[in-house]
Structures are given as structure tokens and as C-alpha cells.
Amino acid sequence: MRDDADFTRRAADLLAWYDANAREMPWRVPPADRTAGARPDPYAVWLSEVMLQQTTVAAVRGYFQRFMARWPDVAALAAAEDGEVMAEWAGLGYYARARNLLKCARVVVAEHDGRFPDTRSALQALPGIGPYTAAAIAAIAFDRSEVVVDGNVERVMARLHDHRAPLPRAKPVLTEMAAALTPDARPGDYAQAVMDLGATICTPKKPACGICPWCAPCAARAAGSAADLPAKTPKKAKPVRHGRAYVARRRDGAYLLERRPERGLLGGMLGWPGSEWTDAQLPPEAPPVAAPWRAVAGEARHTFTHFHLRLRIYVADLALDADPGTGVFIPAQEFRPSDMPTVMRKVFDLARDGFDDPE
């Protein structure tokens, strides 16, 4: 049983810390403005929360600004072309998020009159919005007292209670702990306060317990175990896979690219034609078109979530009437390496050295 006075003070202490230390972010309404009645734009909250899934604030800032400038509301985004959105998302990773982002925008326009639903359960029914994101939007954009549990909250709760069972098994228990602390007042600011605490003080390594607003009640701080929590089940080692990538440039400067299938790795993104990626040293030759391919020195190295990849790279100059096969020629003035996933950009950086007249 919780002590109501302690419970109330816990949330109040954190909110007071947040009022003085909230990080400034382009999608956030500062606590002083929020208290004065300002409300965040649900579209901006949703967009930022999806971008922030498993992604650092530093990486998200620029993407968020560009998306908001280009598609300022959900109707604009819903009307965008798939390829334009995928290109704007390129480099941010976890591309299923971008595909679901578009699906979600179109559902909101088609079935919710262009306005985001304001309850956790209705939000969670939308594509790409799971338990965390639904609770976060409901709390931050709609002032609902929902229990918001992300990696920061899990870490803070594990330390506060010195809970040593490993994740992900411990998640239900940590969620209960978070629920017991979530206040009815200022739920959005509270959710953002715990996340700011986890990001700036209760950090994964070397937590700054000396300046933490929850230092006194923290059980892990007392036990000396804070830096070791939360415990996590060990991860599997990443295998190394090998493949070949083919960078063909037509005489007019157009590049031969392929749109990857919607499902799976880098789904829906532009990329260079290539072989399968296999555990073997190198898969058999699989050039996309007949051409005098030249091997480029070195290899592109890239690490995905669950494997390391090494790509041998081949380049060729093609005639103006060359057959694109299953690919598509992108004119030189439309080709931007930044429209492609990072691994494909690495391939291009090496390939351009292999052309006689690298631009």
C-alpha cells in the first residue's frame, strides 16, 4: 500500500524539478506555457513521438523540423506521395515507422475527420501507435492521466525500487510501479518529466544521483546498485552477412535504383540493385543488367539491428538506351544520396570513387 502523502510529494518533487529544468524541444510546450493554458498540437506530438521511438532526441530534431515545414498538418501528410515521405525519412531508420506514419495520417483523415482521437485506446488502434505512444499522446496532447512507460521510465522505476529482475520480463512489474506514481494533475508534464529525468540524470551509465530530485527515496541509490539497473537478458551475437551492390550510371548521369519491397528490411526505400545478403563469404554474381562491371576497392560495412553487413561494390557506365530491368533510372538532377537509407549512401560514397569522373 502506498502512502498517499509520500506519493503526492514524489510527483510534486519531480514536477518542480521539471519546471526548472525542462529541456527545450521544437515539439514541446514549455511547462510555464502549459500551466498558463497553452496546448501542444496533437499532430506535432504524434509526429515527434513516432520519430522518438528507439531514437535519440538529437537525431530527431532536424527530421521533425523538416517534416513540420513540409507537411504542417495531418491532412497535408495524408496527401503526400509515399516516395516523398520515405525519402524525407531516409537516414532515421526503422522505416516501418514511416510507412505506418502515412497509413495513420490517412486513417485519421478518412475516419476521424482529420483530428486525432483523444483517448489512449482509440489512439492505440491506429497504425504505428502502440502502448507507449498511445499513452504519451493521450497524456501530453490531451491531458489524460495515462501511465506512460518507455525505456526511461523502466530504468527510473527499476532504480527507485531497486528492482533487479531483468527486462523484458520485469516490464509488467515496472509498469505497476509507474502506475502507482502517476498523478492526476499535469499528466503530460509528468510524463515528460520522467523522460527528461531518465535522459539527463538517471542515465544508463554514470547516473548523476547527487543532483537527482528523487535521490532521497531511491532504493538503488542507497544500495549502490543504480548503475547496474535495470538488468537485461543478454543479447545474441550479430552474425556477419555478405553481399554485392551494383551502382550503374547512365551516360546522361542517371543512376539505376530499385524500390525495395514494402515488407522487411529497408522496406519501401530506394536502394542499389544487389545480390542476396548471405552468411556465405560472397553470394554468386547477380548483376541487374549486362554491363562491363568493375569492382571497387574495399567494401561497405554497416551494422543493422541483428547482423553486420559487408558489401562488395561494382560500378558500370551504361548507354543511353540501356534497359533498366526491374529498376528505374533516376535523373541526375533528381538523385540525392540523402533520399536513401544510410547503408545505401555508404555504398554510393565508395562507388563514386570507382567512376572515371566522380562528381
Partner DNA sequence: TACGCGTGGCA
Partner DNA sequence: TTGCCAAGCGT
Distance CA 229, CA 130 (A): 25
Q: Does 205 help bind DNA (rule: CB under 7 A)?
A: yes
> For DNA, what does the binding mask look like between residues 228 and 267, x meaning CB under 7 A?
----x--xxxx-------------------------xxxx
Query: Any idea which residue has 513516432 for its cell?
Result: 50
| Span near DNA by CB under 7 A; candidates 63-71, 93-101, 317-325, 327-335 | 93-101
Residue from 53, 19, 41 nearest 152 by CA:
53
Which CB, 182 or 322, lies closer to DNA? Answer: 182
Distance CA 315, CA 294 (A): 5
Which CB, 150 or 255, lies closer to DNA? Answer: 150
Q: How far apart are the first and last CA of the chain?
A: 69
Which CB, 134 or 318, lies closer to DNA? Answer: 134
Q: Does 351 help bind DNA (rule: CB under 7 A)?
A: no
- Maximum alpha-carbon separation in the chain: 78
Which CB, 248 or 265, lies closer to DNA? Answer: 265
Residue from 286, 296, 354 nearest 326 by CA:
286
Residue type, 353: D
Cβ neighbors of 36 (< 8 A, separation 6 or more) are none
Distance CA 65, CA 135 (A): 23
| Span near DNA by CB under 7 A; candidates 107-115, 133-141, 219-227, 319-327 | 133-141
Q: Which of 96, 107, 122, 289 binds DNA (CB under 7 A)?
A: 96
Q: Which of 24, 49, 81, 258 is catalytic?
A: 49
Q: Which of 64, 71, 132, 293 binds DNA (CB under 7 A)?
A: 132
Cα dihedral 198, 199, 200, 204 sign: positive
6 C-beta neighbours (distance < 10 Å), count: 9
For the purposes of burial, counting CB atoms within 10 Å of the CB of 199, is it exposed (0-12), middle (13-18) or buried (19 or more)?
A: middle
> For DNA, what does the binding mask look like between residues 26 and 65, x meaning CB under 7 A?
--x-------------------xx--xxxxxxxx------
49 is an active site residue: yes
φ and ψ at residue 336, rounded to 5 degrees:
-130, 120
Q: CB 267 → DNA: shortest distance, Å? A: 7
- What pairing do the DSSP bridges indicate for beta strands 308-318 and 294-295? antiparallel
Which CB, 57 or 75, lies closer to DNA? Answer: 57
Q: CB 291 → DNA: shortest distance, Å? A: 26
Q: Does 155 help bind DNA (rule: CB under 7 A)?
A: yes
Q: Which residues bind DNA (CB under 7 A)?
A: 25, 28, 48-49, 52-59, 90-96, 100, 127-134, 136, 150-152, 155, 168, 192, 195-196, 198-199, 204-205, 232, 235-238, 264-267, 302-306, 341-343
Residues annotated as catalytic are: 49
